[in-house]
Amino acid sequence: MKIGSIIGQSTTALLANKGRSFLTVLGIIIGIASVISLYSLGQGVKENVVGNFSFLGAKTITVSSQPIAEEEDTDNEREGGDGAFGIGGGPGGGMGAFRMRPSDPTLKVSDYKDIIDIEGELMEYVTPEVNGNVTITFNEEDLQFNSSGVSSDYFLMNDKEIEYGNNFTEDNIANSENVVIFDADVAKEFSDDSSNLIDRIISIGEIEYKIVGVVKGEEAENDDRPMMRFGGRNRNIYLPYVTAMNNFEQEYINSITVNAINEESVNSLAAKIEETVLENHEFDNLDDADFMITTAQDILDARNSAISVFTNMLTGVAAISLLVGGIGIMNIMLVSVTERTQEIGLRKAVGAKTRHIMIQFLIESILLTGAGGIMGIIIGKLLTDVVTNYVTANAALSLDAVLIAVIVAVVTGIIFGLYPAYKASKLDPVEALRYE
């Protein structure tokens, strides 16, 4: 018997019970749709994570404070300044007495300078960051902005172009001069023409600062980077880090960011930085230290790992749906064998061989799961499109997801159709003809 004839007979048998056939493959449809949508969304989220963190660059190394929590002690209290800058990234204004907490920064300027002195020509740029908020009074209105005390390298490593004025000079930093650079959106708060702001004087608290530069604005629609730490991506003001520390009475810096000269130098440079800062802080290893070192790849790996765990968990749920659907197909095929016992006996009596009967029922099972797979792919694509409208992920139906769905459907049909097909092929034709 030709395979085409067997497929035709199998199709006719399935179409004779359309309602039952559809209900039989419902579990397969749900499982395949789940696999398609979850796989596509998972890949989309991963790509989105990579895109959001790609601005860090594969060459970036960040040294961050990671204070060790200790028992509270009144000896750890110190007096805060009355300036407009929040110590350790807190809100502006007088702080009064406060207690050292595990969130307080631990890095010092000496760490930054020792990193600069690392030998081997491994680094391109390096900058400390002193983060917080400031309040600037303008036209009798208090305006709050994010504030970063940085070096001139900060703008170079972050591709921030100074549109008007100049970057910080060595004298600005070395002499702790009261100068400031505005982000584009900050500048718009003060003037419609940002070029007019250069050399103007503003007051932060009781201290006057001269505006020496304005950063070129970044178009949001062409910028896939996440928002900055304290809010809008164009709402920072920048001061020389020494100025920020001196005027706002801050002893520590929040972080040190380093750009390696190339991607190949990242690991060796990170190891040298770790050795340098461990020695400064008198720790034997990074696990016990009061600081941490991360690279852009570390961040991506952590995000992708978390996404993979979540995706795998949901895929497991989809696999359960496929298992239930497969069991349903096997049960219905067994019922079909029972209902068609006389048909099987008659076919065997007129010359149908055992393998022909087995192949027919196996093909029926594969056709059921194949149809369920196709409908599952279509529904999975629709689900992906709907969910994509509500999450930040450029998910799309990929060839990998389709291939996985097809393979899963065929394998499910073979596995769960094998036993019913075998049972049908082993029926005795005489007994089958007598069956009522």
| pLDDT recorded at residue 133 | 84
- DSSP character for 294? E
3-state secondary structure of 136: strand
Report yes or no: 44 and 388 within 8 Å, Cβ to Cβ: yes
| pLDDT recorded at residue 433 | 60
| Number of Cβ atoms within 10 Å of the Cβ of 38 | 25
296 CB-near residues (< 8 Å, 6+ apart): 53, 54, 56, 57, 58, 59, 60
| pLDDT recorded at residue 102 | 40
| pLDDT recorded at residue 138 | 77
- DSSP character for 283? -
Q: Which helix (H) or strand (E) holds 329?
A: helix 296-339
Beta bridge partners of 209: 202
- Give CB contacts under 8 A, 24+ apart, made by 296-299: 296/53, 296/54, 296/56, 296/57, 296/58, 296/59, 296/60, 297/58, 297/266, 299/53, 299/56
> Quick one: which of 193, 186, 139, 142 has its CA closest to 164?
193
Q: Residue 37 has which token pair? A: 């949508």
Q: What is the dihedral of CA 47, 48, 52, 55, to 10 degrees?
A: 30
Report yes or no: 326 and 419 within 8 Å, Cβ to Cβ: no
- DSSP character for 180? E
pTM above 0.85, yes or no: no
User: How do residues 73-126 score in pLDDT, each as one tens digit?
Assistant: 444 443 433 334 333 333 333 333 223 334 567 888 999 999 999 887 888 999
The ranges of the chain with pLDDT < 50 are 71-102, 220-232
Q: How many Cα atoms are found within 13 Å in the side-chain-facing hemisphere of 110?
A: 8
Taking each helix axis from N to C terminus, what angle separates 341-349 and 354-388, rounded to the nearest 10 degrees? 130
| Number of Cβ atoms within 10 Å of the Cβ of 384 | 23
User: How do residues 302-316 score in pLDDT, each as one tens digit?
Assistant: 766 776 776 677 667
Rounded Cα gap, residues 10 and 367, in angstroms: 8
| Number of Cβ atoms within 10 Å of the Cβ of 310 | 13
Q: Residue 421 has which token pair? A: 């097909």
One DSSP character per residue, 198-236 reads: TT-EEEETTEEEEEEEEEPP--GGG--SPPBTTB-TT-E
| pLDDT recorded at residue 222 | 42
| pLDDT recorded at residue 344 | 74
| pLDDT recorded at residue 432 | 57
| pLDDT recorded at residue 98 | 28
| Number of Cβ atoms within 10 Å of the Cβ of 265 | 19
Report yes or no: 368 and 10 within 8 Å, Cβ to Cβ: no
| pLDDT recorded at residue 234 | 62
> Quick one: which of 243, 265, 323, 429 has its CA closest to 35?
323
Q: Find the DSSP H helices in 340-398.
A: 341-349, 354-388
Report yes or no: 243 and 171 within 8 Å, Cβ to Cβ: no
- Backbone region of residue 401 per phi and psi (left: phi > 0; alpha: psi in -120 to 50; beta: other values): alpha
Q: How many Cα atoms are found within 13 Å in the side-chain-facing hemisphere of 217?
A: 13
